[in-house]
Amino acid sequence: MTLHRALPLALLLVPALAPLQPAQGPATAVPGPLFTDVTASAHIEFVHQSGASADKVMVETFGSGVAWLDADGDGFMDLYFVNGAPGAPNAFYRNNRNGTFTDVTTEAGVAAAGGRAYKTGVAVADYDGDGRPDLYVTAFGPNLLFHNNGDHTFTDVTAAAGVAGGADEWSTSSGFFDFDGDGDLDLFVANYVDYRLADNPYCGLRKEGYRMYCNPTPFDGTADRLFRNNGDGTFTDVSRQAGIANPAGKGLGVAFCDIDRDGDTDVYVANDLVRNFLYRNNGDGTFTDIAYAAGVGFDSNGKPQAGMGVDCADLDGNGFPDIFVTNFADELNALYINRGDGTFDDASAMPGLKSGYPALGFGIKLFDADNDGDLDIYVTNGHVIDNIQLYRPGFSHAQRDLLYENTGGKFRDITDLAGAALRTPRIGRGLAVADFDNDGDLDVVMSSLGERPVLLRNDTTPRRNWLEIKAEGRSKNTAGLGATVRLRTAAGVQTREINNVASYLSASDVRLHFGLADAPAAARIEITWPRGATQVLTDIPANQLLIVREP
């Protein structure tokens, strides 16, 4: 039974923490999103180290993730960068609330520089329900779980929690969600291939400078892992019994969505050169891979693609999440439109998306870049073969990002119009979005292989109205991960999920962001919490951060 309750006591309306920009009224000319590279002025000095070597060790080229989290609970998103090479420290930047950041890695204790693992991705969630977001770092080697102590420090609790995964596993994207509905957050970890440093094949011409990174075809896949939260700070590996341990997988990207809108969270895994998986949550602690039935495993010719990153969200406004997967060069990125009946239409060949064909996509986020009320697509690109120009003249290692504006369910490449920063080639890998300056629009951070990351501030004008929602769950799922929010304005209904898991190796702002275009208020907001309660709010003024507590 669905609960419809008016719960004013459970609702706090909080003004945005930064000065609000008033809505500008109906725009006559719409220049679209504009992003400015503020990496330097924000004092982000981290430089990624890939560990690139003449041996072309595969993991060197897959890069690392980046995460947004409000570690100290001050309402501003802090930044965590994963480094690649063994021994190279990760970096943690505290948000100074003035557009700059301070490197606090050492005092926070999250450098993760020990050991010989190549670090890869990062997930963020409050796994123990103490109200503070924790960090999970994946690696080619043992993964790490850092518990947030609440005093600006973290403690490595991997061993006690039992979430290291296999000592030789190559883990990639990961994320927390309550798969079994018991109120605490479980952990899904995608694994890539069975790769051994000592058994690194030679690929490419045996000519000086021509050795290239191998593709995954010669290597076996490895099963992903699902760790069930025991509720006491420990986890149990339930991968096989849950039905997600397909050993054929070569997972790189993971996204969570309630694909069938049945109230629980489903999992999509983007695999590299084998078909992708769509695990439907059966609601009983198990999953069924419905990729064949749903039509989201292959391209339109029935061939597997080289899936890298993935996000899922409602792009066409029908209330059901669609799926966007970034793929290899000479492949279209995949767009699967959810028909709402368990099947999807492959819309990858939509004319507006064809510019993705020559690019090799990694990080991807579906978000409302211009606050016009629909979700746009941001993709960061970069080839995996660092000497690709020797083999494919005209191709390059560094590539430009792609930004597609949603125009009523169709898309338009507006990269060239969105600022000089988007025209700068980079070796894009991780990507995450957050409103780091709390000004009501979503900013972008990207990791770049072997380079400084890029922080893009959203400077879109004219400014449109917006609303952000921070959910506070009553269970150990303190961020309300998995809640579905339907926001109605005169323009229609937007459906989103509270969920920071998507893209490639990365984690985004857990606060939910809506663009409201010209609407001065949300007429109705309906929140369906993971444990089933539904909360309805009406006439919520725009341009504020709304903190909503689970009833």
List of residues contacting another protein (CB under 8 A): 201-208, 210, 212-218, 220-221, 245-249, 273-275, 288-293, 302-304, 384-385, 388, 391-392
Find the shortest distance in angstroms from Cβ 380 to another protein: 20
CA distance linking residue 388 with residue 395, whole number of Å: 6
Find the shortest distance in angstroms from Cβ 217 to another protein: 5
Find the shortest distance in angstroms from Cβ 151 to another protein: 45
Burial of 220 (0-12, 13-18, 19+ CB in 10 A): exposed
Residue number with CB closer to another protein (26 or 201): 201
Q: Is 492 helix (H, G, I), strand (E, B) or coil?
A: strand
Q: DSSP state, 545?
A: E
Find the shortest distance in angstroms from Cβ 335 to another protein: 20
Burial of 178 (0-12, 13-18, 19+ CB in 10 A): buried
Find the shortest distance in angstroms from Cβ 541 to another protein: 47
Cβ 304 vs Cβ 297: under 8 Å: yes
Instruction: Looking at 208-297, list the stretches that DSSP marks H as alpha helix, in order from N- to C-terminal side.
Output: 239-242, 291-294
Residue number with CB closer to another protein (79 or 212): 212
To the nearest 10°, report the CA torsion of 182, 527, 95, 125: 10
Quick one: CA dihedral 321, 262, 545, 363, positive or negative?
negative
Find the shortest distance in angstroms from Cβ 195 to another protein: 13
Residue number with CB closer to another protein (4 or 392): 392
Residue number with CB closer to another protein (164 or 390): 390
13: amino acid identity, one letter: L
Instruction: Give Cβ neighbours of residue 23 (< 8 Å, ≥ 6 apart).
Output: 463, 464, 465, 518, 520, 542, 543
Q: Is 410 helix (H, G, I), strand (E, B) or coil?
A: strand
Residue number with CB closer to another protein (135 or 388): 388
Give the residue from 551, 367, 374 showing the smallest Cα distance to 471: 551
Residue number with CB closer to another protein (88 or 274): 274
Find the shortest distance in angstroms from Cβ 441 to another protein: 38
Give the residue from 387, 334, 382, 377 showing the smallest Cα distance to 360: 382
Six-digit token pair at 453? 């990351």
Find the shortest distance in angstroms from Cβ 203 to another protein: 5
Q: How many CA atoms lie within 13 A of 533 on its CB side?
A: 15
Residue number with CB closer to another protein (314 or 331): 331
Cβ 480 vs Cβ 472: under 8 Å: yes
Residue number with CB closer to another protein (272 or 497): 272
Find the shortest distance in angstroms from Cβ 39 to another protein: 31
Residue number with CB closer to another protein (216 or 450): 216
Residue number with CB closer to another protein (290 or 310): 290
Find the shortest distance in angstroms from Cβ 62 to another protein: 12
Residue with tokens 């003004």: 15
Residue with tokens 């995460």: 67
Residue number with CB closer to another protein (246 or 326): 246
Six-digit token pair at 258? 């309630």
DSSP output for 316-378: SSSSS-EEEE---TTSPPEEEEE-SSS-EEE-TT-GGGGGGSSS-EEEEEEE-TTSSSS-EEE
Cβ 482 vs Cβ 474: under 8 Å: no
Instruction: Give Cβ neighbours of residue 362 (< 8 Å, ≥ 6 apart).
Output: 63, 308, 309, 326, 379, 380, 381, 382, 428, 429, 430, 431, 504
Q: DSSP state, 192?
A: -
Find the shortest distance in angstroms from Cβ 47 to another protein: 26
Q: Is 78 helix (H, G, I), strand (E, B) or coil?
A: strand
Residue number with CB closer to another protein (2 or 206): 206
Find the shortest distance in angstroms from Cβ 289 to another protein: 5
Find the shortest distance in angstroms from Cβ 333 to another protein: 18
Q: Is 39 helix (H, G, I), strand (E, B) or coil?
A: coil
Residue number with CB closer to another protein (294 or 533): 294
